[in-house]
Amino acid sequence: MSKENTDLPEKKQKTNEKDRAFGEGFEYTHDNPYHERLGVFEEFVLRDDEAEANAGNWNNKAFNRDAPLHTEIGTGYGHFMIDYTQKNPDVNFIGLDHRFKRSFNLAKRLNSLQHKNFKYLRGRGERLGHIFAESELTKIFYFFPDPWPKTRHHKKRLFQKRFLDEVYKVLKPGGEFLIKTDHDGYFEWMCDVMKEESRFEIIFQSFDLRAEHPEHFLSSFVTKFERIFLEKGIKIKSMIIKSKKES
Ligand SMILES: C[S@@+](CC[C@H](N)C(=O)[O-])C[C@H]1O[C@@H](n2cnc3c(N)ncnc32)[C@H](O)[C@@H]1O
C-alpha cells in the first residue's frame, strides 16, 4: 500500500487502486501468501509487474517462437484456457486473473497439461496496455466478467473507454476482442460504450448466443461460470469487436 493512502478507509483505497491500475506509476501491493506459493510455477507463471518486463517481447523472449499471441482476461478456473490451448497448440496464449488462490489452483492444473503453449499472469486486466506493446496481440478473450450490478459500482466495470484505449493499442490491425456475458445490464452497457466507438466495428452480436448461433466458435466451449448461468436458464449475450487500426 502506498504511503499517501494509509489513512484512507479501506473501501476508498480499493477504488483508488482500481483507478490507478491503468496508470504509469501503479505498483502492485499485497500480502497474500499465494503470491509466494505461485513462485513454484516460475516456468510459466508471472506475478504482478513481472509480466510487464515482457511487453513487446512475448513471442521472441517468453515463448521463443513466432505465433499468434492471444490473451484471456479473467481466466477464473481456466476452463476456456485449458480447452483452447490444448486444441490450438499453434497459438501463444496468456491467461490473466487477479485472484490469488484461484490463480494458484489453476496453475496446478496448467502444470500437468500436454501443450505448454501458455503463460499465466497473476495481475490486473487494467494493466493490458503495460503488459503488451502496441499491436502485439491477435485476440483478447473476456468471458463472464464481474458485472458490478449496483449503479454506484458501474465505474468499476472494466469495459469502458479507458480500457478500450488499451485494447485498441495492443491489438494488431484487424485484431479481435471476444466477449460473453450472462448479465443483461453489463451487456447493454457494453453496447452503449460501443455506440461512442469509431475505432472498432462490431462483427458479431447476439442476445441469445446458444439459441441463435449454436455452431459459432463462442458456442463451442462452456466456462465454469457459463455452466452455472445456463443451468439457471440465463441467455448468454456475446459480441466480437474488430479493430479498424490501419496496417
Ligand atoms: C465471474 S468470474 C469468470 C471466470 C471465467 N472467465 C468463467 O467464465 O468461468 C470473473 C473472473 O474475473 C476475474 N477478474 C475480475 N476483475 C478482474 C480484473 N480487473 N483483472 C483480472 N481479473 C479480473 C475474477 O478474479 C474472476 O476469476
Asked if residue 225 belongs to a domain, the reply is yes
- Dist. CA 228–CA 233, nearest whole Å: 9
Asked if residue 46 belongs to a domain, the reply is yes
Task: State the pLDDT at residue 25.
Answer: 84
Task: State the pLDDT at residue 12.
Answer: 47
Tell me if 144 CB under 6 Å of ligand 1: yes
Task: State the pLDDT at residue 16.
Answer: 57
Give the CATH number for residue 217: 3.40.50.150
3 state DSSP class of 192: helix
212-234: average pLDDT: 98
Task: State the pLDDT at residue 28.
Answer: 92
Tell me if 125 CB under 6 Å of ligand 1: yes
Residues known to be catalytic: 146
CA atoms within 13 A on the CB side of 102: 15
Tell which one of 96, 98, 155, 183 to mutate to probe ligand 1, the residue whose CB is within 8 A of the most ligand atoms.
98
Asked if residue 212 belongs to a domain, the reply is yes
Task: State the pLDDT at residue 13.
Answer: 46
Residues 129, 170 contacting (CB under 8 angstroms): yes
Task: State the pLDDT at residue 141.
Answer: 98
The confidence band for 19, taking pLDDT boundaries of 50, 70 and 90, is: confident
Angle between helices 79-87 and 100-110 (to 10 degrees): 30
Asked if residue 1 belongs to a domain, the reply is no
Asked if residue 147 belongs to a domain, the reply is yes
Task: State the pLDDT at residue 30.
Answer: 81
> Separation of 69 CA from ligand 1 center, angstroms?
20
pLDDT > 60? residue 14: no
Listed in sequence order, the DSSP H helices in the chain are 10-20, 33-38, 79-87, 100-110, 128-131, 161-170, 184-195, 209-212, 224-231
Mean of per-residue pLDDT scores for the chain: 93
The confidence band for 9, taking pLDDT boundaries of 50, 70 and 90, is: very low
Q: pLDDT tens for residues 45-73?
A: 999 999 999 999 999 999 999 999 999 99
Nearest residue by C-alpha to atom 4 in ligand 1: 76
27 against 88, higher pLDDT? 88
Asked if residue 5 belongs to a domain, the reply is no
pLDDT > 90? residue 88: yes
pLDDT > 90? residue 184: yes
Beta bridge partners of 141: 72, 178
- Dist. CA 50–CA 196, nearest whole Å: 34
> What is the arrangement of strands in the sheet containing 171-181, beginning at the earlier edge strand?
45-47, 118-122, 92-97, 69-73, 137-143, 171-181, 237-243, 200-206
Per-residue cell: 238: 456475446
Tell which one of 14, 166, 225, 231 to mutate to probe ligand 1, the residue whose CB is within 8 A of the most ligand atoms.
225
Tell me if 126 CB under 6 Å of ligand 1: yes
Domain count, the chain: 1
pLDDT > 80? residue 186: yes
- Dist. CA 57–CA 11, nearest whole Å: 36
State which residues form the domain around 214.
32-243
Asked if residue 6 belongs to a domain, the reply is no
Q: pLDDT tens for residues 101-146?
A: 999 999 999 999 999 999 999 999 999 999 999 999 999 999 999 9
> What ligand 1 atom has the least distance to the C-alpha of 18?
19
Asked if residue 208 belongs to a domain, the reply is yes
Beta bridge partners of 94: 71, 119
> Separation of 92 CA from ligand 1 center, angstroms?
20
Residues 76, 144 contacting (CB under 8 angstroms): yes
149-175: average pLDDT: 96
pLDDT > 60? residue 3: no
The pTM is what? Answer: 0.93
User: How many CB atoms sit inside 10 A of residue 127's CB?
Assistant: 23
